[in-house]
């Protein structure tokens, strides 16, 4: 499946062939469509940026996550640490460009990210166990320990810019 996605991102196959290939490896039609939709912003940006815009990153999922945040210009990650996020914290040790701001409760963490976003004009990024505390009027993008993302008033375009192909608005 990795090779199939790479071929699609490199414009080696069409969306139709991607969908057919994903179905052949056992994904349902809905799952294949969701995956293709999530990859669409990445292919559009790669086409605009030209060759070499998509790069391979090796390492843990935490490293991939932090590298994506870094490439999007994220400077601060507001969090309420939980054991499910250990790989992210391990990767942040080696990434001085992103400052970790910890809070003792999800509501306080979201409030800090909201304040940062409103004052700076940038999207606030939060990592908390309960993303249901995000309100609709907050310019904040949140991730829970299970890798699920939620937005408040962040546009899909802004979320896609920050997260590349790993964001899907559900």
> How far are the Cα atoms of 16, 146, 150, 165 from residue 38, in angstroms, in the given order?
15, 18, 14, 6
Of 3, 5, 4, residue with least CA distance to 165: 5
pLDDT digits (tens, 9 = 90+) for 42-87: 555 555 655 555 566 677 878 888 888 888 888 999 988 876 778 8
Confidence of residue 166 (pLDDT cuts 50, 70, 90): very low
| Mean pLDDT on 13-38 | 82
Task: Please state whether the predicted TM-score (pTM) of the whole model is above 0.85.
Answer: no
What is the band of 170 on the pLDDT scale with cuts at 50, 70, 90?
very low
The Cα–Cα gap between 47 and 75 comes to 26
Q: Among the listed ranges 4-8, 136-140, 146-150, 152-156, which one has the minimum average pLDDT value?
A: 152-156
79: left (phi over 0), alpha (psi -120 to 50) or beta: beta
């Amino acid at each position: 499946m990795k090779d199939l996605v790479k071929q699609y991102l490199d414009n080696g196959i069409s969306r139709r062939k991607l969908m057919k290939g994903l179905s052949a490896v056992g994904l349902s039609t809905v799952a294949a469509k969701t995956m293709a939709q999530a990859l669409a912003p990445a292919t559009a940006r790669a086409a605009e940026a030209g060759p070499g815009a998509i790069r391979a990153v090796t390492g843990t999922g935490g490293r991939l996550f932090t590298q994506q945040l870094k490439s999007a210009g994220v400077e601060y990650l507001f969090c309420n640490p939980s054991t499910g996020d250990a790989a992210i914290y391990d990767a942040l040790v080696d990434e001085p460009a992103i400052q970790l701001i910890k809070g003792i409760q999800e509501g306080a963490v979201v409030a800090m990210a909201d304040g940062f976003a409103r004052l700076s004009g940038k999207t606030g990024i939060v990592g908390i166990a309960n993303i249901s505390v995000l309100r609709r009027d907050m310019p904040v993008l949140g991730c829970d320990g299970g890798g699920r993302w939620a937005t408040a008033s962040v546009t899909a375009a802004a979320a896609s810019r920050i997260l590349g192909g790993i964001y899907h608005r559900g």
